[in-house]
Structure 1
Amino acid sequence: MNARFTRFALVAGTVVVTTLGPSVQAQALPACASNAICLWRFQDGTGELYTWRGGYVDLPSRFTDHVGSFRANRTGAFIDWASGKECHSVRRGDYASNYSGRFGSKIDAVGDNC
């Protein structure tokens, strides 16, 4: 009887520790409109929002080289014109909560494809 109780206590303790243990979750980006790519000025989907829905568009000056995060609900392309044309394709489902240290510090335009 004592061995059975000990096993039960160990299993119950493991379940409690697993369930209540520390949980680290990434900051979720806000929702983005269907069939659009959303760009935010700052990381984690904060700051001003720019929503792109298709076609070639030069970004507003406040977004040029200053995209902190994005979420893609369609395909598209991020374009940098600083030294020729550098282009990064984006697929539906792509996102970045901290994009400013990457291509977000270079992006000048958004288009349908490279």
Structure 2
Amino acid sequence: MVSLKPCALPGCPNLVERGYCKTHDEYNKPKRNNEAFKKLDSKKTKESIKFYVSPAWRKVSKHYRKLHPICERCERTRPLNPQASVLVHHIKPLEYVIRDKESPYNFRNLEALCLACHNRIHLKRKK
């Protein structure tokens, strides 16, 4: 017999084998966006790839996520169930930041996001 645990949504009394109950199953959907993210990732320029793997960006990104451990978009749009931030997003795209000779490390242009929110932003831009 499988042991049942409370639904992953804080405060939900429903018991499940794992994850979310049927009522809150929509919170499982953002994890299914990985394929969309891989497609977007394959379109990055050589310059942006070089930037995102640089030690300076990794340090800034790590520091920013420490300051913002919860997805900033989820906090505004889904305050009852915000997700953890997993990456730092440039609000103004990196290509424009570089073109305009601005600092890519400016915190005013950064946003800590979960993978689902990040994918939604980029999928909207591509349309």
Bin of the TM-score, shorter chain as denominator length: under 0.3
- TM-score where L is the length of structure 2: 0.19
More RCO (CA 8 Å, sep 6+): 1
Decide which structure has greater helix share.
Answer: 2
Decide which structure has greater strand share.
Answer: 1
- TM-score where L is the length of structure 1: 0.20
